[in-house]
Amino acid sequence: MKLQQLRYLKAIVENNLNVTEAAERLFTSQPGVSKQVKLLEEELGLEIFHRSGKNFSHVTPAGRQILARAENILSEVQNIHALAEDFRDEERGTLRIATTHTQARYFLPPLITQFRRRYPRVHLLIHQGTPVQISQMAASGEVDFAIATEAIALNRELLMIPAYRWHHCVVVDKGHPLTGVKSLALEDVAGYPIVTYVHGFSGRGRLEQDFANAGLAPEIVLSAADSDVIKTYVRLGLGIGIIAHMAYEPGQDTDLAYLDAKSLFRENVTRVGFRKGVYLRRFMCHFMDLLAPHAGEERVQEALNARTQESVDRIFEGIDLPEH
């Protein structure tokens, strides 16, 4: 059995059992990948993939268990390389982050500045995507951290550390009638067309649930993944905007009025997701400390050694998260 054979198995599954695409991703030939899979199956004496003609149709029950163990082996191989890199030069390396627009645009810039100041020789890669996409990137090892509010909790391959809490606000034109309301209520907000986030982004699900709990069904006239797009259409008069509190910039959004909605909607928690059993290099630990300074090195190490999300939740139970 060879490590390369295990890498082929992983690539095939990640490319929906398409051997040609897996081979292209690994910069090798399709016949070579097929041959190595066949050799491994012959060595083990069982099928990993069920065939339909020349194509793989599904993973066999035995294959699912083999793939799970192959993932663990490959993850440990990656950890060994990371450990060796730390001993060779802890100041160099690559930090790969996947996050949403709101985090990348409004939350991360000052932290990235601090990180670059401490580790100027670490190459930084930031991938943007939907919460589902970025959780998949972290689970597959394509990135080191996934930072998001929604969806990453649904990925059982990841463990999550709470980073900070935040709330929504309402933005309107400065002459809007809501600016004259002394005590803003959900009914007031629901009385106007709304521009806010698409499903799966920045607490959209919680917003809808809060309205529903109050017996309200507001008109969502436009949904966007980008807070700047939401503010643009508020300026065009399409509706009032509901955005993350941090996305309102007083120095730049001078034509918009900020309405505090902290008492109207439940707060949200942004989390940092990482693969189970991953080895974090020193500069990764430093970045984690910037993201969640309240966690502390000891708790983070406990979380890294945890097997389940329930164990991680117990580690951080009762901690007062910072608000952004």
Token pair listed for 206: 């919680």
CA distance 269 to 163: 7
* 116 band by pLDDT with thresholds 50, 70 and 90: very high
More confident residue, 219 or 27: 219
Residue among 144, 170, 138 at smallest CA distance from 283: 144
Residues 51 and 96 in one domain: no
Instruction: Identify how many contiguous H helices and E strands the chain contains and give both numbers.
Output: 13, 12
Give the CA-trace dihedral at 222, 223, 226, 232, to 10 degrees: 10
Residue 104 covered by a domain = yes
Helix (H) / strand (E) element for 106: namely none
299: pLDDT strictly greater than 90: no
Domain end among 85, 116, 132 = 85
pLDDT at 211: 95
CA distance 218 to 212: 9
Residues 205 and 73 in one domain: no
Instruction: Dump pLDDT digits (tens) for 47-83.
Output: 888 888 878 888 888 888 888 888 778 777 776 776 7
The CA-CA-CA angle for residues 291, 297, 300, to 5°, reads 70
Q: Side chain identity at 181, as an amino acid letter?
A: V
Residue 132 covered by a domain = yes
For 210-233, b where at least 16 C-beta lie within 10 A, e where not — what string?
bbeeeeeebebebebbbbbbbbee
Residue 320 covered by a domain = no
Instruction: Dump pLDDT digits (tens) for 118-149.
Output: 999 999 999 998 888 898 888 888 899 999 88
How many C-beta atoms surround the C-beta of residue 170 within 10 A? 26
Residues 54 and 201 in one domain: no
Q: Side chain identity at 81, as an amino acid letter?
A: H
CA distance 291 to 246: 15
Give the count of domains, the chain. 3
Indicate the pTM of the whole model.
Answer: 0.72
Instruction: Dump pLDDT digits (tens) for 231-251.
Output: 999 999 999 999 999 999 999
pLDDT at 107: 92
Residues 172 and 256 in one domain: yes
Range scoring the smallest mean pLDDT among 75-89, 202-216, 280-294, 301-315: 75-89
Residue 322 covered by a domain = no
Residues 143 and 276 in one domain: yes
Residues 254 and 172 in one domain: yes
255: pLDDT strictly greater than 80: yes
Token match 């095939």: residue?
Answer: 12
SS3 280: coil
CATH classification at residue 247:
3.40.190.10
Full residue range of the structural domain in which residue 79 is found = 3-85
More confident residue, 115 or 45: 115
Residue 323 covered by a domain = no
- Mean pLDDT across the chain, nearest whole number? 88
Residues 38 and 109 in one domain: no
Burial zone of 104 (CB within 10 Å; 0-12 exposed, 13-18 middle, 19+ buried)? middle
CA distance 177 to 188: 10
